[in-house]
Structure 1
Amino acid sequence: MFSNIKPFINKMNAKTILKRAFDAGQIYLSARNNGGKELRRYPKIHNVDINQDFTRFVFTLPIGLDPKEISKKGFVFKQVFGPHIELTGEIKKYTLEVYKMGMEISFKYNFEEIRNVINPGKLPIVCGKNRHGQIIWYDMRDLPHILIGGATGSGKSTQLRQLLTTLIIKLKPSELELYLADCKKAEFHIFRNIEHVKGNVVLTKDIKKMLDHISTQMDERSNLLDVFGVAHIDDLPQDQKKPYIVLCIDEFVMLRKEANIMEKLIELTALGRALGIFVILSMQRPVKDVLDTTIRSNLNVAMGFKVRDKIESRVMNTPGSEDITVPGRFFMDTNGDMTEIQSPFLELEDAKKLLEPFKVAPQDVKEVFEEEPPQNDDTKQLTYDDVFGDDDR
């Protein structure tokens, strides 16, 4: 787009095209002078860096221009520059990178490739590869809770599979306890009889019991912090160390009518970080009634795979995820910073092989709750019709 032109002219043309995007998206402040002529204050373009792979713009918004205009009008930059862009920043300063080529459309999971990259992390979350081919990961202790959304076939389920498998391989059972709830009885069967897994349930009554147990653990850990005068469980004396707890609920939207469960989830996401308790929630159809401002504000990371429409992408806070066409591709929002990533693809059979060394005999699996006799409605497996009716969003 910007080749075969002298560098100075090249940059000036690039700025002109960016200004065209500002105009198209009405990303400016407008006022009129005494003569009635419109005056526009555009974002200030501080730098244009052009190389053989991409063009990078750095710009700042004029004071008074709502930053939400940038996230709402992200599609305009794609219309002007093409689909291979990445826009990052917040509040005032933004970076727009326009790439000559698109991202890789697949990333096969290979733990040996991942191992050295995540080695410094105590609770590593492997996200995938960015458009530069770099493996993106972070420590869940720093960004403690995750929301994953995406329609069937988008890559949401395989992302959950690799996230949990990676944690199991990386941490010892004495360092990590996993609590899994699979509301659709479809995803977590491969984690049965894994020593790290202290609960793997599908019924509402068992999910309630599992959350009660975790709440008890939360109270005990809170008391320990108070007794020893520390701010985080990592700072407890060695003989008082506790394993990290990760609670993962797939299709938690099906529990939205369970007030007690939702209250417990809000409590865990609000208070869990210092206590070493972390939450991963996933859903096919992001619903505003479930993701109210209270629980959404406690979820530090959102991974938005392909969703049905702009309504669902707004609920996820991952604008553009309704336009994704590549399976496994998602937009990740980390407290307002948006990144496009290709998730690792971990085949079911490959996951089973990786998990085999961590399996124990069924009789040696120690669940945190005992079986109880069936109890009326709580044992019923919910369906989408129970929750949504025909099309409740």
Structure 2
Amino acid sequence: MCLMARMASPPMNLRRDAAPMAQPKRHEVAGLILSALAALTAMALLSFDARGGADWAGPVGRRVAEVFATALGTASLLIPWSLAVNAVRMFRRTTRPIAIGRVLGTLAIIATAATALHLWWGDRAALGGLMAGGVLGATLGDSLRASVGTAGAHTLVLTAMLVALVARTRLSVVSVAVGARSASAQGGLWLRSGVGSVARAWRESRHATPSPARPPRERPEELAERAVRPVIDDANTPEEPDEAEQDGRSLAEIMLDEEDRAASEAKPARRPRSMRRKPVEDVEAEAEPVVEPMPFDDDEPAAPPPPVKAPRASAKASAPAKEPAAPRVTAPAKVTISVEEPAPPAAPPAARASTPPPPATRRASTPPPPRPAVAESADEDDMLPVEDDEDPSAPLTIVSHARAIEQAMRSASVPVEKTAVKHVDTVVRQMAMPAVSLLAPPPPNRSTFDEGHLRNTADRLVRTLSDYTIDGRVMEIHPGPVVTTYEVVPAAGTKLTKISRLSDDIAMSLEASKVRIVAPIPGKGRVGFEIPNTSRQMVYLRELLETEAFRSLGGALPVAIGKDVVGAPFYADLATMPHLIVAGATGQGKSVGLNVMLTSLLYKRGPEDVKMLMIDPKMVELNVYDGIPHMLLPVVTDMKKATLALRWVVDEMERRYSLFAQTGARNITSYNEKVIKAVAEGKPLRGLDGPVRPKESGTTTALAEGESSEAPPPRKLPYILCVVDEFADLIMVAGKDIEAAVARLAQKARAAGIHVILATQRPSVDVITGIIKANFPARIAFKVSQKLDSRVILDQQGAENLLGKGDMLILPPGSSDLKRVHCAFVNEDEVQAVTDHWRAQGKPNYDEDILKPRDEEGEVDEAHESDIRVPAEKYEKAVQLVLSHRKCSVSFVQRYLGIGYNVAARIVDKMEREGIVGAPKGPGKEREVLG
């Protein structure tokens, strides 16, 4: 029994040997399991698509990939990578017990990677059509950006990632820095050595002057023996010509050159020790023997020798011998030279060395440098591409300007066209401009697009064109906030009119609401197809005003409008337009566009710079601007008063031109410059015939009637912006009178600083007549219902294919090329906040004379004298003042009574009508007192 028990039980040493053998098997099993999990997870993630598609790992793998991709985005690919690393460690039997630090380090690396991907890529679709950083990256990234800003968030995430890598792996920042420094130093040495070798070879090939007939190449030993022969000999036969004179160099020069090169280059034949020991002074004293040039190996280029003075026969004979490397290049394999006229073979060597070669020989001895592969490549970037020669195999390019534009808008990199109008100020602004915080901010990270969807749409567009026998290829895709532009190069011989008629057919094929075709794109040999995006991006006014480009925007009346088709901000100057027509169907963004332009103007110009006159028949669109100090009078809602207001604007234009003529100014800019100069010198504004006095209101002008010393200081003329909403209703009520007034303003008011904006929702030929269109070169068209309406506004089609809700076409002045812009959005509360800011800083100074009836000459009708009746007390005091001092002038009455210029002028005019004073005698002369 004991024997059987012993046989049944294994030996003790066998059990001890089996224990260590089980450990590697467990490692291998664990490694195989981890490898399978890594492979399945990788296949599930790489094949996952939220919009559907093939799932390599089945429904279970799709579910797992959906969880990981939604939570971590592209950073979820680190999970199979981590499993694979652990599997390798299992196979290598280098595993250690599970430590909390390593687990936390791995999780930190994944979390920081997801956050970094979200900060870099935003909401753009990545793995499986989901966000690049997933929900975790978006949460952490947006929280960091809101707390410390974009730059601070990038800094913190990068620091956290480095800390996690250092803690989890064997990475050392110091080791990486030392390695990078060593690599850069080694690369610098290599580059310096390479450049030096190329430079030496280039100098040798440039200065090489080989003889036409070359002797056979000699061995290095023979060359060295010939080189030192004159020094070893005692020079007993000085009458024999020395062949070394063709170099024209003394032995001292040769020895100095060789000693300089001996430390860095290996010589094919070393000079004898006795030669190196011989002093240079002793060598030069021995009748200055010359030496034949010392050839050297082809693989060892020679450096140019240092300049050493040596006796020369003549300056002309020494000229060719001064070229340092010319006699040293003897390798025929390196330089191939053809000489037309070889040297005469009978000439002695010394004569050949002392005589410069003929000009033809010298030119032939230096071959021209090789021409570049592309001629005149320096101007390649400034040349327009030749569309006919485009490579059909070139890959499709998706040009996304949104991210670059957002970064440039934050760092002031968007180019803005400067206006020629110079803005001048005469007084320091006492009013603060409104802050952009009054406007609603845009949501962060809105610039995203689906690259797969764009390429799919491009393929469908090409197939649709081929269905109509139009061959072409999509070359570039430009995603924008509202539409995406596909640039197509049609085949040669394709008529553009055939493409332009397919907008509706292409819209139906691509399942789009509207497709606008630009055939051709200005400046390119391509056709642009503007296809609406699946999700529109709203443009906020605040993001346009926060840019450095808007803050530095010049011009007299700068305004922000919106963004173009690639997402670039679009600004304009109303003074350069100089008048604008805004038209479109009801509810397509016309009123919002007016509010955007007016609100942005209030962010750039104060009441001393611009005055506004608004006409609003609907009584609800522009009443929000009532009470701001920019207004000349409250918003006009009565059509009869609107006619009077426009007639006053015409009269104001004529008065300004009269003032310009008296002062010698050509326009409002030059007049204001004269005002600035007069104020700086403390002198009155002088005209061609004497001093000129503008009225106190700053909007009307008149000649001074008193002494020049009594003239008040001049003030600059502000710009006047006349905004007319619902111009169609005004035409229906007033008819031709309104049209004539608007036409006169459009023809002449630009130089006077008066600019008009006409807005209408009925763009018909009886509203926007030919006279008005001829004088309104700048026009904005929102979406219209018919092609005829688009032709009335823009003189061409296109507005009927717009998308509405702020989508517009702008016709710049002096051009027929339309520019598509998506108007910015500003709500009523934002406009109210901006106008409240201005109301809190000052009250408007209304001019009630604007709405008073006028005669044909523009003067106030005497039949309505009760409207201009002066106070009785002021009039009696003025009469007593004039009779007691026996002098009368407007400035005299104004100064002594402490009243305004307008009231003083009316008092003096009343005294003239009553016979108390006489008529004015001219500028600078007082009236005669009759009473």
Give the structure-2-normalised TM-score.
Answer: 0.33
Give the secondary-structure state (helix, strand or coil) at the position aligned to 2:849.
coil
Structure 2 match to 1:346: 826
The Cα of 1:86 is off from its aligned counterpart by: 6.3
Per-residue CA deviations over 1:293-326 (Å, capped at 9, x if unaligned) read 1101211222111223222222112623223334
How far apart, CA to CA, are the structure 2 residues paired with 1:216 and 1:328?
36
Would you say the 8 A contact 1:11–1:48 is kept in 2? no
Structure 1 match to 2:600: 166
Identity score, percent: 23
Structure number having the greater strand percentage = 1
CA 1:212–1:110 in structure 2 vs 1: closer, same or farther (change >3 Å)?
Answer: same
Structure 2 match to 1:97: 528
Answering whether residue 647 of structure 2 is matched by residue 216 of structure 1, we say no
Structure 2 match to 1:76: 502
Structure 2 match to 1:286: 763
Which one has a bigger Cα radius of gyration?
2
The Cα of 1:249 is off from its aligned counterpart by: 0.5
Of 357, 369, 376, the residue aligned with 2:837 is: 357
Code of the residue aligned with 1:202 in structure 2: it is T
Answering whether residue 778 of structure 2 is matched by residue 297 of structure 1, we say no
The Cα of 1:345 is off from its aligned counterpart by: 0.7
How far apart, CA to CA, are the structure 1 residues paired with 2:852 and 2:519?
51
Answering whether residue 571 of structure 2 is matched by residue 140 of structure 1, we say no
The Cα of 1:344 is off from its aligned counterpart by: 0.9
Answering whether residue 754 of structure 2 is matched by residue 320 of structure 1, we say no
Structure 2 match to 1:244: 719
Higher RCO (C-alpha 8 Å, min separation 6): 1
Q: How many residues align?
A: 339
CA 1:125–1:113 in structure 2 vs 1: closer, same or farther (change >3 Å)?
Answer: closer
> Which moved further from structure 2: 209-218 or 110-119?
110-119
How far apart, CA to CA, are the structure 1 residues paired with 2:531 and 2:583?
29
Code of the residue aligned with 1:87 in structure 2: it is V
> Which moved further from structure 2: 314-323 or 91-100?
91-100
The Cα of 1:348 is off from its aligned counterpart by: 0.2
Structure 2 match to 1:386: none
Answering whether residue 549 of structure 2 is matched by residue 117 of structure 1, we say yes
Would you say the 8 A contact 2:645–2:850 is kept in 1? no
CA 1:115–1:347 in structure 2 vs 1: closer, same or farther (change >3 Å)?
Answer: same
How far apart, CA to CA, are the structure 2 residues paired with 1:187 and 1:74?
38
Of 273, 277, 283, the residue aligned with 2:750 is: 273
Would you say the 8 A contact 1:104–1:131 is kept in 2? no
The Cα of 1:152 is off from its aligned counterpart by: 2.4
Structure 2 match to 1:204: 639
How far apart, CA to CA, are the structure 1 residues paired with 2:543 and 2:793?
29
Structure 2 match to 1:225: 660
CA 1:299–1:371 in structure 2 vs 1: closer, same or farther (change >3 Å)?
Answer: closer
Would you say the 8 A contact 1:305–1:324 is kept in 2? yes
Code of the residue aligned with 2:762 in structure 1: it is R
How far apart, CA to CA, are the structure 2 residues paired with 1:372 and 1:9?
73
Answering whether residue 607 of structure 2 is matched by residue 180 of structure 1, we say no
Structure 2 match to 1:39: none
Give the secondary-structure state (helix, strand or coil) at the position aligned to 1:307.
coil
The Cα of 1:270 is off from its aligned counterpart by: 1.2
Structure 2 match to 1:337: 817
CA 1:308–1:232 in structure 2 vs 1: closer, same or farther (change >3 Å)?
Answer: same
Structure 2 match to 1:253: 728
Structure 2 match to 1:309: 786
CA 1:75–1:275 in structure 2 vs 1: closer, same or farther (change >3 Å)?
Answer: farther
How far apart, CA to CA, are the structure 2 residues paired with 1:104 and 1:145?
31
Would you say the 8 A contact 1:90–1:337 is kept in 2? no
> Which moved further from structure 2: 207-216 or 310-319?
310-319
Per-residue CA deviations over 1:23-64 (Å, capped at 9, x if unaligned) read 999xxxxxxxxxxxxxxxxxxx9x9953676554689xx9xx
Of 532, 535, 538, the residue aligned with 1:106 is: 538
Structure 1 match to 2:518: 87
Structure number having the greater helix percentage = 2
How far apart, CA to CA, are the structure 2 residues paired with 1:134 and 1:336?
21
Give the secondary-structure state (helix, strand or coil) at the position aligned to 1:97.
strand
Code of the residue aligned with 1:356 in structure 2: it is D
Per-residue CA deviations over 1:80-137 (Å, capped at 9, x if unaligned) read 5965656387999876434677494421221673563333222113221112111111
How far apart, CA to CA, are the structure 2 residues paired with 1:142 and 1:366?
27
CA 1:58–1:218 in structure 2 vs 1: closer, same or farther (change >3 Å)?
Answer: farther
How far apart, CA to CA, are the structure 2 residues paired with 1:221 and 1:132?
43
Code of the residue aligned with 2:669 in structure 1: it is D
Code of the residue aligned with 1:292 in structure 2: it is T
How far apart, CA to CA, are the structure 1 residues paired with 2:641 and 2:808?
32
Structure 2 residue runs without a partner (length 5+):
1-389, 397-457, 480-484, 676-714, 854-931
Would you say the 8 A contact 1:251–1:284 is kept in 2? yes
How far apart, CA to CA, are the structure 2 residues paired with 1:183 and 1:111?
32
CA 1:52–1:253 in structure 2 vs 1: closer, same or farther (change >3 Å)?
Answer: closer
How far apart, CA to CA, are the structure 2 residues paired with 1:143 and 1:344?
20
> Which moved further from structure 2: 77-86 or 133-142?
77-86
Structure 2 match to 1:40: none
Structure 2 match to 1:8: 392
CA 1:11–1:270 in structure 2 vs 1: closer, same or farther (change >3 Å)?
Answer: farther
CA 1:233–1:78 in structure 2 vs 1: closer, same or farther (change >3 Å)?
Answer: farther
How far apart, CA to CA, are the structure 2 residues paired with 1:354 and 1:88?
42
CA 1:267–1:80 in structure 2 vs 1: closer, same or farther (change >3 Å)?
Answer: same
Would you say the 8 A contact 2:521–2:527 is kept in 1? no
How far apart, CA to CA, are the structure 2 residues paired with 1:303 and 1:330?
7
Code of the residue aligned with 1:244 in structure 2: it is Y
CA 1:88–1:241 in structure 2 vs 1: closer, same or farther (change >3 Å)?
Answer: farther
Code of the residue aligned with 1:327 in structure 2: it is K
> Which moved further from structure 2: 319-328 or 357-366?
357-366
Give the secondary-structure state (helix, strand or coil) at the position aligned to 2:729.
helix
Of 625, 629, 641, the residue aligned with 1:191 is: 625
Code of the residue aligned with 2:502 in structure 1: it is V
Give the structure-1-normalised TM-score.
Answer: 0.73
> Which moved further from structure 2: 357-366 or 274-283?
357-366
> Which moved further from structure 2: 276-285 or 216-225?
216-225
CA 1:341–1:51 in structure 2 vs 1: closer, same or farther (change >3 Å)?
Answer: closer
Would you say the 8 A contact 1:130–1:136 is kept in 2? yes
How far apart, CA to CA, are the structure 2 residues paired with 1:340 and 1:75?
19
How far apart, CA to CA, are the structure 2 residues paired with 1:266 and 1:198?
22
CA 1:117–1:56 in structure 2 vs 1: closer, same or farther (change >3 Å)?
Answer: same
